Amino acid sequence: MKADRVSVNTRAGAGRRDERDRALAERFAAGDPTAVRELYARYAGPVFTVAFDRLRNRQLAEEAVQDVFVKAWRAAGTFDPERDLSPWLYQIARRSAADIARRERRRPVTQGLSPALPAADSASLGDVWEAWEVRLALGDLAADERELVRLTHFVGMSQSEIADHLGIPLGTVKSRMHRAHRRLAQRLAHVRMEL
């Protein structure tokens, strides 16, 4: 079990990414102006995706991105560098997009200026972003936990079927699934769920 965790955590780039993000968070919280530029370079695209998913307008989403990074910079001194930057930024993005959407609803409608919405059957940028976040979270699970999630959610096996298939006790399957779901919930807390 420990060997699985070590191999997952030492896969190419994973440890470096965590260290880079941690160092960036510390520099950002300390008020380093180069950190905010790096933060923008790294997260402007995903923040735009979150904003565009809500606003469905490129110009308004770009405005939201600017607003997010201004608000983040103003709050840098209160940011806890032990936290992950991305969930914090995405939350600011959702709030900023909601504020802009409220403001736009109050404006009078001008004919001929509303942008076309994407086709209903195409995946939205938000859906693509959420799928990407889920894939990253699954990749961070230990190999045995990832396999259980795959068998449950992608193959459709019950816990009893998984126990028989893998030749392990049902209680082990249940405890590993619980641990896997708990880790996924923590890792994906910033992704909003729509019903």
Q: What's the rounded Cα separation, in Å, for the pair 132 and 157?
A: 24
Q: What percent of the chain has pLDDT over 90?
A: 31
CATH of domain 12-107: 1.10.1740.10
Q: Which spans in 56-111 are helix H?
A: 58-74, 85-106
Give 141's contacts (C-beta < 8 A, 6+ positions apart). 8, 149, 180, 183, 184
pLDDT digits (tens, 9 = 90+) for 30-58: 988 889 889 998 999 999 999 999 898 99
Q: How far apart are CA 166 and CA 5, in angstroms?
A: 19
Angle at 180 between CA 178 and CA 182, to 5 degrees: 70
Q: Rounded to whole angstroms, how far apart are CA atoms 12 and 15? A: 8
- The pLDDT score that the predictor gives to residue 94 is 93
Q: Which two tokens stand for residue 59?
A: 């110009």
Which distant-in-sequence residues (6+ apart) come within 8 Å of 5 by Cβ? Answer: 142
User: For the CA atoms of 131, 133, 134, 135, what is the dihedral angle to 10 degrees?
Assistant: 90
Q: Which residues contact 189 (CB under 8 A, 6 or more apart)?
A: 87
DSSP state of 15: H
Domain spans in the chain, listed from the N-terminal domain onward = 12-107, 123-195
pLDDT digits (tens, 9 = 90+) for 64-94: 999 999 999 989 889 999 888 989 999 999 9
Domain 123-195 has CATH 3.10.20.30: no
